[in-house]
Amino acid sequence: MPQEQSPPFGRRTFLGAAVTGVAAALLVPLSAPEVHGLPADDRSIAMPGPFPGRVIEVHHPGCVINDGVARDPVRDMVARGLRELTGADDVTTAWRRWFGPGDVVGIKVNPVGAPLAISSYALVHEIVAGLESAGVKPRDIIVFDRYRNQFRQAGYPANLPDGIRWDAVVEDYDPAQLGIDGYDPDVYREMDLVSATRHDPKDERARRSHVCLIVSRRVNKIINLPVLKDHSFAGVTLALKNMSHGFVNNVARSHATSATNACNMFIPAIVSLPVIRSKVVLHILDGTRAVFEGGPHAAPPTTWNHATLYFATDPVALDRIGWEAIDAKRQAMRLPVVADAYARLDATELGPRSADEKPQATDSHRHPQHIALAGALGLGVFERARIDHKRIVLGGGS
């Protein structure tokens, strides 16, 4: 097992220069991504990885049965998706494209939509089986999320493969989010963005988001398992947001209220941190059970059986395709597309809103601009014409 190492980053880890403003942080040109902790011959796997712009979509109508996700169809979906993504002849060879003996692999799940729409147990089992086939030892696999209570409530501890470890960063949600127990004191993004309702602007902690120790010190590679959902502030919550809001503290400042929604700047600023960019090597977007309105939580009227998984090393291209899937469902339900929808100041409404409802004075647009900005930072391909999107249907579906 690789020895744990202190992160090779200074007190202020930036995009390439010391900056203090949000806009400045996003305008500093990116140099080649730093890839600390990876062998020299594996550096190509840092985001956007070896397959920039490539997104493989695999649909299997039989993967959701009575609102539960079935293991056998998911096994076929994962095998086909990874073979198509990598060009490998078999799925074990595909897994070995990224993983092998000695790797310590984190699997970042998303439990927020429990019990209706989470990173499914079936998908986690297939990923673990794939990692083991590549030579990763069970004790070197850690399934994790930020909040221990949410992780437990979603049922993960009782539904993980034998011998697999799980962990969380902190016990539960904290409105202030300034504590750094469980987070790395030396690895953070500093931005001039403070929640006026939660923080004292004179407190330097209010401007920092620290990376959790699981990411910075305990694993050397990460598989990101977001869920296909819309989001009341960011527009969509997919691969990029599962990292930005799942790996660091002090995230509520990005969407304290509709009037101070800064997700579009915050998300790419966090994901572009070298320690994140270098370690997250594979994204599998779980769209088996998906949410088209009211996300990030899930309610019966706005959750649907999409029965689809998406595979990519490029989170920007993946999120662009996932955004399209959510918009298609919203249009089918006679809702405005995400970019034309609004987030209310109280954000309390979970049901679908009428397509002809007029926005209120306290509403704010929830256009997912963070995806385009992440592309501009070199984290992936945003231009639709440059995205190689392939859809595959298994199980006799259409």
pTM for the predicted model, two decimal places: 0.87
DSSP string, 310-339: EEES-HHHHHHHHHHHHHHHHHHTT---GG
pLDDT at 192: 87
Residue 11 burial class via C-beta count within 10 angstroms: exposed 0-12, middle 13-18, buried 19 and up: exposed
pLDDT at 43: 61
pLDDT at 133: 98
pLDDT at 39: 47
Partnered with residue 376 across adjacent β-strands are none
Residue type, 144: F
pLDDT at 24: 39
Could you list the pLDDT tens digit for every one of the 398 residues in the chain? 322 232 332 333 322 222 333 333 443 333 333 444 444 445 678 999 999 999 999 999 999 999 899 999 999 999 999 999 999 999 999 999 999 999 999 999 999 999 999 999 999 999 999 999 999 999 999 999 999 999 999 999 999 999 999 999 999 988 888 999 999 999 999 998 888 778 888 888 999 999 999 999 999 999 999 999 999 889 999 999 999 999 999 998 887 666 667 899 999 999 999 999 999 999 999 999 999 999 999 999 999 999 999 999 999 999 999 999 999 999 999 999 998 887 653 333 334 444 444 444 445 568 899 999 999 999 999 999 999 999 999 997 67
pLDDT at 275: 95
Which sign, positive or negative, has the C-alpha torsion 35, 317, 367, 67? negative
Q: What are the structural domain ranges in the chain?
A: 22-393
Q: How many CA atoms lie within 13 A of 40 on its CB side?
A: 0
pLDDT at 144: 98
Helix (H) or strand (E) holding 8: none
pLDDT at 44: 78
pLDDT at 123: 98
pLDDT at 27: 37
Q: CB-based contacts of 37: which residues, under 8 Å, 6+ apart?
A: 2, 5, 220, 278, 279
Closest CA to 1 of 137, 97, 120: 137
Distance CA 139, CA 144 (A): 14
